[in-house]
């Protein structure tokens, strides 16, 4: 089967045979296949479209890439000959911080760019040696971030009284309730690569299957230590994303797109919502290793070989990757969403117009991303804006489809330009409302 990510209507019309793998697409519905060709050997997909979109140098990206606080001399190395490269790095005055878990790689501090250049010259194509650039969450709070308890009080505040369950507008807009009599996400695990998930949130806990942390939790003798069990959310963003995917249908709070899907938390972003690309890459592969069939990526940054490698590996193992287009409001690339193996998601408001902040161009699907009510830390609820919030709507619909063995991802043509909506507003059922 063809790659589901880049089938553009101008390349493949709705009645093209390859769009009819499972069920006929009903005008104005659009659909394409989920079961994929992303198996071994097909990791490098070909873009089918020739979109007029061209990447520009976006301010957002410049901002993301100009965060020097996390270290200018920090590099990530991936190589089959890792020990040899590490030794060479140490010979150039470098220090190995820690090894990656799922890639044969390590995070290494190098004294200067000359040391990196010397290592590249020595190992050539046998090693990736690149700056460990910073990735960030991609959202704009529609409400103040939730409180984290009174500083210094010593005791967390008691959980707030749980409100009666409401149906967020976005869950209705993607027609999830129409799908629930037939599929609810049961048996499918969605990996949330983000700031973590509150493990005991009353509207999430029963769906959380586990997690893994990739953020440094301490130092021993100058070396970074990462405690994999510390995957709880200290920001709020990851918990919000998780709720849109799979908040429980339990009478309280909100309900997610796929209320019986499992959630796996790969914590790759710190309490400020920033993290290194080495952690993002490892987190993606952690999700796959822990059984995730869908990987939700509400984050973005620059292009990086290590991230491309992880994305291609996850896709080749059958995972469906979904990522935010970005909040730059521009026709600009952001990674991982701009990789061809990844579904790139823009955001619309409740009038089904493109959100003012949403980036566009090369979009696969659009989804609700303004005033999105979901779970947040502190066992509470809040509304956020962002392509970060649109992305989990699509991840949830993918989980619904996979739980029913349907290999098609439906969408409704909402009349926006193709560069804004891609295949359209993602939908849980193959009929327009």
Contact 347, 354 (CB under 8 A): yes
194 catalytic, yes or no? yes
Contact 16, 399 (CB under 8 A): no
Contacts of 272 (CB under 8 A, 6+ apart): 235
Interface of this chain with Ca ion, residues 150 to 189, rule: CB under 5 A = 165
Residue number with CB closer to Ca ion (60 or 248): 248
Residue number with CB closer to Ca ion (342 or 376): 376
3-class secondary structure, 329: coil
For residue 248, state whether it binds Ca ion (rule: CB under 5 A): yes
DSSP state of 86: H
For residue 233, state whether it binds Ca ion (rule: CB under 5 A): no
Residue number with CB closer to Ca ion (8 or 201): 201
403 catalytic, yes or no? no
- Min CB(350)–Ca ion separation in Å: 20
Rounded to an integer, what distance in angstroms lies between the CA atom of residue 80 and that of residue 315? 21
Q: Which of 94, 253, 262, 430 binds Ca ion (CB under 5 A)?
A: 253
b or e along 249-270 (b: 16 or more beta carbons within 10 Å of the residue's beta carbon)? beebbbbbbbbbbbbbbbbbbb
3-class secondary structure, 244: helix
For residue 211, state whether it binds Ca ion (rule: CB under 5 A): no
Rounded to an integer, what distance in angstroms lies between the CA atom of residue 15 and that of residue 21? 11
- Min CB(198)–Ca ion separation in Å: 14
- Min CB(180)–Ca ion separation in Å: 13
What number of chain residues touch Ca ion (CB under 5 A)? Answer: 7
Q: Which of 18, 166, 217, 250 binds Ca ion (CB under 5 A)?
A: 250
237 catalytic, yes or no? yes
Stretch that binds Ca ion, among 7-15, 17-25, 199-207, 390-398 (CB under 5 A): 199-207
Closest CA to 180 of 126, 251, 255: 255
From 346, 388, 395, 403, the catalytic residue: 388
For residue 272, state whether it binds Ca ion (rule: CB under 5 A): no
- Min CB(397)–Ca ion separation in Å: 18
For residue 340, state whether it binds Ca ion (rule: CB under 5 A): no
Q: Checking DSSP bridges between strand 223-225 and strand 218-220, what pairing results, if any?
A: antiparallel
For residue 243, state whether it binds Ca ion (rule: CB under 5 A): no
Beta bridge partners of 322: 296, 343
Contacts of 290 (CB under 8 A, 6+ apart): 189, 191, 209, 210, 212, 264
From 32, 201, 237, 393, the catalytic residue: 237
Contacts of 28 (CB under 8 A, 6+ apart): 412, 413, 424, 432
Q: Which of 203, 233, 364, 407 binds Ca ion (CB under 5 A)?
A: 203
b or e along 44-55 (b: 16 or more beta carbons within 10 Å of the residue's beta carbon)? ebeeebebebee
Stretch that binds Ca ion, among 43-51, 155-163, 202-210, 415-423 (CB under 5 A): 202-210
Between 364 and 393, how does the x/- string for binding to Ca ion read (CB under 5 A)?
------------------------------
Stretch that binds Ca ion, among 128-136, 250-258, 262-270, 416-424 (CB under 5 A): 250-258
- Min CB(260)–Ca ion separation in Å: 12
Give residues in contact with Ca ion (CB under 5 A).
Answer: 165, 203, 247-248, 250, 253, 255
> Among all residues, which ones are annotated catalytic?
194, 237, 388
């Amino acid at each position: 089967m063809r790659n589901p990510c880049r089938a553009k209507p101008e390349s493949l019309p709705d009645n093209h045979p390859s769009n009819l793998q499972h069920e006929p697409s009903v005008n104005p519905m659009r659909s394409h296949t989920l079961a994929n060709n992303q198996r071994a050997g097909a990791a490098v997909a070909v873009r089918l479209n020739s979109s007029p979109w061209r990447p520009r140098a976006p301010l957002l990206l410049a901002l993301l890439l100009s965060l020097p606080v996390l270290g200018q001399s920090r590099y990530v190395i991936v190589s089959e000959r890792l020990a040899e490269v590490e030794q060479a790095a140490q010979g150039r005055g470098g220090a190995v911080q820690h090894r990656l878990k799922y890639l044969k790689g390590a995070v290494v501090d190098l004294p200067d760019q000359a040391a990196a250049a010397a290592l590249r010259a020595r190992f050539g194509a046998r090693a990736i040696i690149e700056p460990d650039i910073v990735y960030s969450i991609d959202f704009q709070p529609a409400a103040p971030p939730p409180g984290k308890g009174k500083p210094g009080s010593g005791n967390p505040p008691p959980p707030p009284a749980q409100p009666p369950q409401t149906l967020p507008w976005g869950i209705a807009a993607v027609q999830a309730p129409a799908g629930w009599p037939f599929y609810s996400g049961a048996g499918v695990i969605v990996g949330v690569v983000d700031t973590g998930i509150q493990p005991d949130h009353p509207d999430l806990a029963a769906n959380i299957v586990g997690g893994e942390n990739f953020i440094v939790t301490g130092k021993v003798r100058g070396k970074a230590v990462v405690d994999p069990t510390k995957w709880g959310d200290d920001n709020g963003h990851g918990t919000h994303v998780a709720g849109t995917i799979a908040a429980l249908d339990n009478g309280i709070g909100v309900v997610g797109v796929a209320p019986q899907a499992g959630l796996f938390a790969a914590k790759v972003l710190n309490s400020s919502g920033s993290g290194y690309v080495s952690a993002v890459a490892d987190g993606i592969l952690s999700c796959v290793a822990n059984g995730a069939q869908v990987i939700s990526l509400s984050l973005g940054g620059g292009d990086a070989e290590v991230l491309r490698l992880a994305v291609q590996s996850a896709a080749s193992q059958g995972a469906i990757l979904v990522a935010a287009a970005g909040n730059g409001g521009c026709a600009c690339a952001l990674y991982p969403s701009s990789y061809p193996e990844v579904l790139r998601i823009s955001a619309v408001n409740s009038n089904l117009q493109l959100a003012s902040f949403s980036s566009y161009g090369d979009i696969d699907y659009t989804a609700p991303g303004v005033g999105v009510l979901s779970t947040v830390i502190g066992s509470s609820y809040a509304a956020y804006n962002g392509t970060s919030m649109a992305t989990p709507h699509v991840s949830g619909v993918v989980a619904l489809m996979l739980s029913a063995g349907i290999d098609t991802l439906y969408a409704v043509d909402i009349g926006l330009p193709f560069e804004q909506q891609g295949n359209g507003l993602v939908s849980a059922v193959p009929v327009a409302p």
